[in-house]
Amino acid sequence: AQRVTQPEKLLSVFKGAPVELKCNYSYSGSPELFWYVQYSRQRLQLLLRHISRESIKGFTADLNKGETSFHLKKPFAQEEDSAMYYCALGFHMDTGRRALTFGSGTRLQVQP
């Protein structure tokens, strides 16, 4: 079965410190992976998708198929990065249903 695991519920760092939010997935097919961010009292927004290999707001994420990981990284955290981060796996089921399975989320707190 498809599964996304985010092992940390909370990650607290100081401003300027490096950040790594962990995400591991379980999927037998070819994965499509995303990071979504939810700032306080706002809707979820797409932050990154692995197929575009882009850097948004200084964040990057590399798909490691050998380790089945898609960790989110930023070299220098900013206070405005404080938010809830969700890793998500996109896949198709046998029925044709397009599904997006989310991890349980990691709250990032960046302290001044």
Please state the closest distance from residue 31 (CB atom) to another protein, in A: 10
What is d(CA 69, CA 19) in angstroms, rounded to the nearest whole number?
16
Q: Which is nearer to another protein, 15 or 24 (CB)?
A: 24
39-to-7, 46, 109 alpha-carbon distances in Å: 20, 12, 11
The residue to which tokens 């519920």 are assigned: 9
Please state the closest distance from residue 24 (CB atom) to another protein, in A: 14
List interacting residues with another protein (CB under 8 A). Answer: 9, 32, 34, 36, 42-46, 49, 86, 88, 90-91, 95-100, 102-105
Q: Which is nearer to another protein, 96 or 112 (CB)?
A: 96
Retrieve residue 101's tokens.
């399975």
